[in-house]
Structure 1
């Protein structure tokens, strides 16, 4: 079910509304004005299945450093950042 974001031209209130007709602009819940406009919203989705956790921005987690070479911070594999 599509939820769209709107803004009232009279009072400036931004609100979300579940609508079935994409072209419909519901009245403002604050001042009841009919002068509302649809806002552009960011798309948000969540991957399912065995996909790695991508966090909020879709960045893949950093690969784990091997214990033999260490990390860039210590080069010996013996610090808290590389976990060795």
Structure 2
């Protein structure tokens, strides 16, 4: 169950919410509007450093958003 970040087109505020399934209706926590824009969010990665995604070579340079990330055993 992923947590998504949304921006409300009605009140222009952003918020995060847990979305249990794709059919679930999400509404703004602040004004109740359903006119939302799903935002692109960066993933939190374990014990990384600013230079690499996981902090250990041979990881790709940060940020590794959707680019394959770290090899097995480095996350």
TM bucket by the smaller chain? 0.5 to 0.7
RMSD: 2.4
Distance 1:34 1:45, change over 3 A: same
Question: Do the aligned residues in 2 keep the contact of 1:3 with 1:16 (CA within 8 Å)?
Answer: yes
Does residue 1:55 correspond to 2:36, yes or no? Answer: no
Looking at structure 2, the residues matched to 55 and 25 of structure 1 have their Cα atoms a distance apart, in angstroms, of 37
Structure 1 unpaired stretches of 5+: 48-53, 62-84
Q: Quote how far apart the aligned CAs of 1:57 are.
A: 4.3
TM-score, normalised with respect to structure 1: 0.52
Q: Rg bigger for which structure?
A: 1
Aligned counterpart, 1:29: 29
CA distance in 2, matches of 1:11, 1:26: 15
**Alpha-carbon shift at residue 26 of structure 1 (Å):** 0.9
Q: Where does the alignment leave 5 or more consecutive residues of structure 2 unmatched?
A: 57-75
